[in-house]
């Protein structure tokens, strides 16, 4: 057994309640929120008027929206949310309306594909946890106009492909819940495979379930569609970017070839939360360490506390030489992050660690941006422009 793996799971780790219980919980917390709301709005307005603005874009609207988001998290963050009933793992339905409309307009083709369970030969070391099983998982293939290959065709000569891993703190999210992979796929004219990995909501789906699922997606591209590893782009935001970094490290453990590119938006880089707790901008970001700590405990229930300080869990704390393999395999890394986000300091530390080890890394700061600002809006346009230049 790996030295970071527990013999038994942490029984105190939070689990997602049933849909009925969660509905009761959310109704009660919403009622409490409505009771607090008018008094809190008055307080936030007066506080904004009598205190100097920390930076020019810190408007009253921004202060109110961020603090109300934090209030909701503090009220409901005690519970890990179960997946919404209407979100189906194996179907292109809610929340993929934007993708369906894009397909109807003839802008993309879209298909659900199945990844087979990872073979035992690929399960060792840090992800060898007896209670977690590898199972078939779905992915969503996006094929934009102008792409060399279509949907699940075998790779064309020198064709690149995107493997997208969505965010959501490991406790929520869906491959199609934002248009981020759609926009990147269309702008690059590359096929995109977005994997629907298991969320860490229970003993059956905690770590290493997500890494098993994204590994099966990576092997699907390499073994089934015959893409060269150097032509694979790992694209991820927040927890999805964290999972991309975990996958990269585990590929090294398996002595498998690395993807050619890591394109990351606001990568979650520290499971110890050391950087986030000390972050001077935490008052300006909608993310909270309270909710993140609950998500970490749920995700890592099969691992001991020492695991949190490893490069797998906290890539910002990677020891010297830990990123040498990226340099040796000439992987190009791009990181976009917000100047006012909770993860700012840990992302800077991650970038500095990679640069220390000689990795080809480009850091793009959105000065007043919040968490994952790079997936949409003006910052999203900067993200697209940068990666197009890297790929050219």
Taking residues 59-63, report their average pLDDT: 90
Half-sphere exposure of residue 297, counting CA atoms within 13 Å on the CB side?
17
Q: Is residue 219 a part of any domain in this protein?
A: yes
> Do residues 297 and 329 lie in contact, with contact meaning Cβ atoms separated by under 8 Å?
no
Rg (CA), the chain: 21
Judged against a pLDDT cut of 80, whether residue 279 lies above it is answered with no
Q: Is residue 84 a part of any domain in this protein?
A: no
Whether 31 and 122 map to the same domain: the answer is no
Whether 296 and 225 map to the same domain: the answer is yes
> Do residues 316 and 269 lie in contact, with contact meaning Cβ atoms separated by under 8 Å?
yes
Tell me the pairing of strands 332-338 and 360-366: parallel
Judged against a pLDDT cut of 90, whether residue 89 lies above it is answered with no
Give pLDDT tens digits for 97-117: 999 999 999 999 999 999 999
What pLDDT does 46 receive? 95
- Kindly indicate the confidence band of residue 84, based on its pLDDT and cuts at 50, 70 and 90: confident
Whether 211 and 163 map to the same domain: the answer is yes
Whether 28 and 140 map to the same domain: the answer is no
Query: Looking at residue 376, what DSSP letter applies?
Result: S
What pLDDT does 389 receive? 98
Strands, sheet with 332-338, edge to edge from the N-terminal-most edge strand: 108-115, 137-144, 191-195, 161-165, 232-237, 261-265, 332-338, 360-366
Taking residues 185-211, report their average pLDDT: 97
> Do residues 82 and 201 lie in contact, with contact meaning Cβ atoms separated by under 8 Å?
yes
Whether 39 and 148 map to the same domain: the answer is no
What pLDDT does 73 receive? 87
Percent of the chain with pLDDT over 70: 100
Paired residues of 192 in beta bridges: 142, 162
Give pLDDT tens digits for 144-191: 999 999 999 999 999 999 999 999 999 999 999 999 999 999 999 999
Residues ≥6 apart with Cβ < 8 Å to 377: none
Whether 174 and 34 map to the same domain: the answer is no
- Kindly indicate the confidence band of residue 229, based on its pLDDT and cuts at 50, 70 and 90: very high
Whether 101 and 51 map to the same domain: the answer is no
Judged against a pLDDT cut of 80, whether residue 280 lies above it is answered with no
Residues ≥6 apart with Cβ < 8 Å to 43: none
> Do residues 372 and 242 lie in contact, with contact meaning Cβ atoms separated by under 8 Å?
no
Whether 148 and 204 map to the same domain: the answer is yes
Give pLDDT tens digits for 238-258: 999 999 999 999 999 999 999
Judged against a pLDDT cut of 90, whether residue 313 lies above it is answered with yes
> Do residues 90 and 135 lie in contact, with contact meaning Cβ atoms separated by under 8 Å?
no
Give pLDDT tens digits for 22-39: 999 999 999 999 999 999
Q: d(Cα 43, Cα 263) in Å, to the nearest integer?
A: 40
Q: Is residue 83 a part of any domain in this protein?
A: no
Judged against a pLDDT cut of 90, whether residue 232 lies above it is answered with yes
Taking residues 222-230, report their average pLDDT: 98
Residue 213, CA distances (Å) to 85, 126, 133, 165, 207 in order: 21, 15, 10, 10, 11
Q: Which domain holds residue 107?
A: 97-391
> Do residues 289 and 282 lie in contact, with contact meaning Cβ atoms separated by under 8 Å?
yes
Domain count, the chain: 2
**Of 31-35, 48-52, 86-90, 181-185, which range is least confident?**
86-90
Q: Strand ranges (DSSP E) for 77-126?
A: 108-115
Q: d(Cα 358, Cα 356) in Å, to the nearest integer?
A: 6
Whether 156 and 208 map to the same domain: the answer is yes
Q: Is residue 154 a part of any domain in this protein?
A: yes
Q: Is residue 85 a part of any domain in this protein?
A: no
Taking residues 274-293, report their average pLDDT: 86
Whether 291 and 358 map to the same domain: the answer is yes
Query: Looking at residue 106, what DSSP letter applies?
Result: T
Percent of the chain with pLDDT over 90: 86
Q: d(Cα 137, Cα 196) in Å, to the nearest integer?
A: 7
Q: Is residue 216 a part of any domain in this protein?
A: yes
Q: d(Cα 295, Cα 205) in Å, to the nearest integer?
A: 13
Q: d(Cα 84, Cα 77) in Å, to the nearest integer?
A: 16
- Kindly indicate the confidence band of residue 272, based on its pLDDT and cuts at 50, 70 and 90: very high
Whether 227 and 102 map to the same domain: the answer is yes
Query: Any idea of the CA torsion for 88, 92, 98, 101, to the nearest 10 degrees?
Result: -140
Q: Is residue 12 a part of any domain in this protein?
A: no
Whether 259 and 375 map to the same domain: the answer is yes
Taking residues 287-300, report their average pLDDT: 93
| CATH number for the domain that contains residue 318 | 3.40.50.1820
| Closest-CA residue to 49 (of 39, 38, 59, 37) | 59
Q: Is residue 32 a part of any domain in this protein?
A: yes
Give pLDDT tens digits for 334-363: 999 999 999 999 999 999 999 999 999 999
What pLDDT does 94 receive? 82
Residue 366, CA distances (Å) to 64, 109, 265, 351, 377 in order: 21, 32, 11, 15, 12
Q: d(Cα 179, Cα 98) in Å, to the nearest integer?
A: 7
Query: Any idea of the CA torsion for 92, 296, 375, 33, to the nearest 10 degrees?
Result: 90
């Amino acid at each position: 057994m790996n030295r970071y793996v527990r013999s038994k799971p942490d029984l105190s780790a939070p689990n997602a309640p049933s849909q009925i219980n969660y509905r009761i919980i959310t109704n009660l917390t919403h009622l409490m929120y409505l009771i607090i709301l008018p008094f809190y709005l008055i307080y936030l307005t007066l506080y904004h008027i009598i205190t100097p603005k920390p930076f020019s874009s810190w408007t009253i609207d921004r202060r109110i929206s961020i603090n109300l988001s934090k209030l909701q998290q503090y009220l409901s963050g005690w519970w890990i949310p179960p997946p919404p009933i209407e979100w189906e793992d194996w179907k292109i339905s809610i929340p993929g309306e934007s993708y369906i409309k894009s397909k109807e307009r003839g802008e993309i083709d879209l298909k659900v594909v199945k990844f087979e369970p990872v073979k035992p030969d690929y399960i060792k070391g840090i992800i060898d946890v007896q209670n977690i099983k590898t199972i078939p998982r779905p992915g969503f293939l996006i094929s934009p106009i102008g792409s060399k290959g279509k949907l699940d065709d075998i790779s064309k000569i020198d064709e690149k492909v995107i493997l997208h891993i969505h965010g959501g703190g490991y406790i929520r999210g869906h491959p199609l819940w934002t248009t981020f992979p759609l926009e990147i796929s269309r702008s690059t004219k590359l096929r995109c495979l977005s994997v629907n990995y298991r969320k860490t909501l229970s003993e059956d789906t905690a770590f290493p379930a997500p890494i098993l699922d994204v590994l099966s997606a990576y092997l699907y591209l390499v073994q089934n569609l015959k893409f060269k590893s150097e032509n694979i782009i790992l694209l991820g935001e927040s927890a999805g970017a964290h999972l991309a970094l975990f996958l990269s490290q585990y590929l090294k453990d398996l002595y498998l070839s690395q993807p050619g590119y890591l394109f990351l938006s606001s990568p979650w880089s520290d499971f110890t939360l050391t950087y986030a707790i000390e972050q001077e901008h935490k008052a300006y970001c909608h993310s909270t360490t309270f909710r993140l700590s609950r998500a970490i405990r749920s995700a890592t229930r099969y691992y001991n506390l020492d695991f949190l300080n490893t490069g797998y869990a906290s890539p910002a704390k990677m020891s010297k030489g830990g990123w040498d393999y990226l340099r040796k395999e000439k992987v190009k890394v791009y990181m976009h992050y917000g100047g006012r986000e909770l993860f700012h300091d840990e992302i800077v530390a991650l970038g500095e660690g990679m640069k220390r080890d000689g990795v080809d890394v480009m850091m793009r700061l959105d000065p007043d941006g919040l968490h994952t600002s790079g997936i949409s809006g003006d910052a999203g346009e900067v993200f697209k422009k940068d990666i197009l230049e890297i790929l050219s």
